[in-house]
Structures are given as structure tokens and as C-alpha cells.
């Protein structure tokens, strides 16, 4: 069984994949540990998978996962995690901008007592206007929101203990927030400066269009980190404005104003009364969702604890 698994999503990297495989093999052989390389082709159309089929026949340490269509980097990375067998999981990009020779240093740092070690591209070789400045702003926002002090959240070169990546369910663009999600699970995090090279072949799949999705995912991450333990608090906060709106609209439905001031209306105002009813209904449903989520969470913890106790007794 491999000790180190390197997971790399690929999409239209026909000019990079052979050099990537060669540099990875060289770096991992120098560690003198059992290893595997898991390359996930995310529906490439440029001949990348043809080269992968050729390489996998030559290298027993190489495993290839082929998607039938393009699904995105996060599903590709999640599929790689599902196929990885090592107790240490390394992730990186397939465009040769990350340097595989940094992997041994990151693994050594992990074994000093950490669960996640993140690469920091301190001297990035990317365009200033379209990549560096948006990345700096995004990293500052992510640090402030999640409370995880990582300088370079977008760097794909990271090393994890396998339990971290196997404890997470990834979707959307969540792969960039694995460290923050891992911190929510209690993972100990470190960071090392890594090398970064200019892209030689192909073109970047990232752009300004991803900023909106990153912001939306960041809101979800904030909710997961702070409110996952007690979801009723989160839904209670969402329902509070509606609960406050209900009595206000109710009062406005029964009063009227004229030259003499406010007085009780002879007939209620159907608009305000309808608004009050809608506010009460929505508030109740939102709070009920939180209650059901809290109940489901408590039930899953109860049954998991009973299963753990039963298994422990069976072992003893």
C-alpha cells in the first residue's frame, strides 16, 4: 500500500502531462517511501487522456481516473480523494506552476505534528491585474471570514493527513477551502513558502468570473464553521427579522392615522394583515428547519456514540 498519494486534477494539459509525470516521479522517488500518483482527467478534449492511457501502462505507481465530461476541479479532486489509498494525501495543479520538489519538505513539516500543510506562493509568477491583485483581496477576505491564518488559500499545493480529506463532502468550488473546513474539524495547520513557476503551455482556467462563486462559497463556509454544531442558532438568526416584522405589521393593520393622530381602524387593512400572516408563516418555517436540523444532528451523534461504544465493547 502507498504511504503518500498525490492527487492532481487535469483538464486539457496535453503539453504538460508528460513533464508533470516525470517531475513527480523524480521527486517522489527521492523520498524513498511507497507512493502513488492519482491523475484525474476532468473530461479533456485535447488528447490528455490518450497520453494518460499510455503512461498508466508504463508506470505501476500511476493511477488514472477518467471523467466522461468536464465536471470542474472540485469534483475531480474529490474523485481523486476517493481513489487515494495513502495515509498522506498531496494535492497540486497539473500546469507545472507548482514544483513537485517541494513535496518532501511539506511532508516533513506535516510529520512535525500537523494535519494540514499549505503551500504559500510568496513570489507568484502570474499577471498582476487579473491574478495577483484579486488573489490578494480574496485571501484577505477568506482569512478575515474563516479565522484561519493562511496567506495563500488558492495554492493547490497542500499536504493532508488522509482523515482530513475523507471527512469532508466537497461541492461547488470548495476545494480551495479544505484547510478552513479542516480547521473546523480541529486539524492543526502549518504553512510553508513554495516555489512557483510561470505557465509554459496552455492557458489558465481561472479568471475574474470565479469571484462571485468564491464569495457565495465563503458564506457557506462561514455558516458551516460557526453554526454546524448548533444549526438552530443560524436559522433562529434568519427567522428573527420575520418574527419582529409580524407584530409590527399586525399593529399597522389595526390602526389608522389622520389629522388627530393614530387611532384604531374600523376595518383592518388587508395588505398589512396579509404581510403579517406571510411573515409569521415564513418565520415559523425557517425556525422549524433549524429545529429539524438540530434534531437530526443530535440523533446522528447519539447513534454514532452508541455504535462506537458497542464496537469498543466488542473489541474488548
Structural domain boundaries of the chain?
Answer: 4-227, 231-315
Q: Is the pLDDT of residue 137 over 60?
A: yes
Q: Which residue reads 470542474 in cell numbers?
A: 72
Region 46-63: mean pLDDT is 95
Provide the 3-class DSSP secondary structure of residue 86. coil
Q: Is the pLDDT of residue 286 over 80?
A: yes
Instruction: Note the helical H segments in the chain.
Output: 17-29, 48-58, 73-83, 103-110, 133-146, 162-166, 178-184, 211-227, 231-254, 270-315
CATH architecture of 4-227: Alpha-Beta Complex (3.90)
CB-based contact 92:100 (threshold 8 Å): yes
pLDDT band at 78 (very low <50, low <70, confident <90, very high): very high
pLDDT band at 269 (very low <50, low <70, confident <90, very high): low
pLDDT number for residue 107: 97
Q: Is the pLDDT of residue 172 over 90?
A: no
pLDDT top residue among 127 and 24: 24
Average pLDDT, rounded, for the chain: 81
Region 244-268: mean pLDDT is 67
Partners of residue 35 on adjacent β-strands: 4
Q: What is d(CA 123, CA 126) in angstroms, rounded to the nearest whole number? A: 9
pLDDT band at 257 (very low <50, low <70, confident <90, very high): low
pLDDT band at 314 (very low <50, low <70, confident <90, very high): very low
Number of residues written out for the chain: 316
pLDDT number for residue 307: 43
Residue 152 grid coordinates:
495563500
Region 223-250: mean pLDDT is 75
Q: Is the pLDDT of residue 315 over 60?
A: no
Q: Is the pLDDT of residue 25 over 50?
A: yes
Give the closest residue to 164 by CA, choosing from 81, 226, 220: 81
Give the closest residue to 117 by CA, choosing from 178, 170, 168: 178
- Comparing 89-98, 139-148, 220-229, the range with the smallest average pLDDT is 220-229
Amino acid at each position: 500500500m502507498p504511504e503518500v498519494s498525490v492527487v492532481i486534477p487535469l483538464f486539457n494539459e496535453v503539453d504538460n502531462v508528460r513533464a508533470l509525470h516525470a517531475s513527480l516521479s523524480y521527486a517522489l522517488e527521492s523520498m524513498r517511501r511507497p507512493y502513488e500518483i492519482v491523475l484525474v482527467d476532468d473530461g479533456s478534449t485535447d488528447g490528455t487522456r490518450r497520453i494518460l492511457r499510455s503512461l498508466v501502462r508504463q508506470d505501476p505507481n500511476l493511477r488514472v481516473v477518467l471523467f466522461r465530461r468536464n465536471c470542474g476541479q472540485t469534483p475531480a479532486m474529490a474523485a481523486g480523494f476517493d481513489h487515494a489509498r495513502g495515509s498522506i494525501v498531496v494535492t497540486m495543479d497539473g500546469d507545472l506552476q507548482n514544483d513537485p520538489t517541494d513535496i518532501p519538505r511539506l511532508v516533513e513539516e506535516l510529520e512535525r505534528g500537523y494535519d494540514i500543510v499549505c503551500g504559500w506562493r510568496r513570489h507568484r509568477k502570474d499577471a498582476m491585474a487579473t491574478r495577483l491583485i484579486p488573489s490578494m483581496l480574496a485571501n484577505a477576505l477568506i482569512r478575515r471570514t474563516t479565522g484561519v491564518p493562511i496567506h495563500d488559500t488558492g495554492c493547490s499545493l497542500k499536504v493532508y493527513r488522509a482523515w482530513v480529506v475523507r471527512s469532508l463532502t466537497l461541492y461547488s468550488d470548495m476545494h480551495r477551502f479544505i484547510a478552513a473546513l479542516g480547521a473546523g474539524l480541529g486539524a492543526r495547520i502549518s504553512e510553508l513558502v513554495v516555489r512557483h513557476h510561470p505557465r509554459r503551455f496552455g492557458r489558465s482556467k481561472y479568471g475574474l468570473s470565479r469571484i462571485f462563486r468564491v464569495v457565495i462559497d465563503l458564506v457557506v463556509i462561514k455558516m458551516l464553521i460557526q453554526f454546524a454544531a448548533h444549526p438552530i442558532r443560524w436559522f433562529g438568526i434568519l427567522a428573527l427579522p420575520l418574527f419582529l416584522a409580524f407584530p409590527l405589521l399586525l399593529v399597522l393593520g389595526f390602526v389608522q392615522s389622520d389629522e388627530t393622530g393614530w387611532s384604531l381602524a374600523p376595518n383592518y387593512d388587508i395588505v398589512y394583515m396579509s404581510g403579517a400572516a406571510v411573515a409569521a408563516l415564513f418565520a415559523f418555517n425557517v425556525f422549524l428547519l433549524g429545529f429539524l436540523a438540530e434534531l437530526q444532528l443530535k440523533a446522528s451523534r447519539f447513534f454514532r456514540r452508541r455504535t462506537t461504544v458497542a464496537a469498543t465493547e466488542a473489541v474488548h
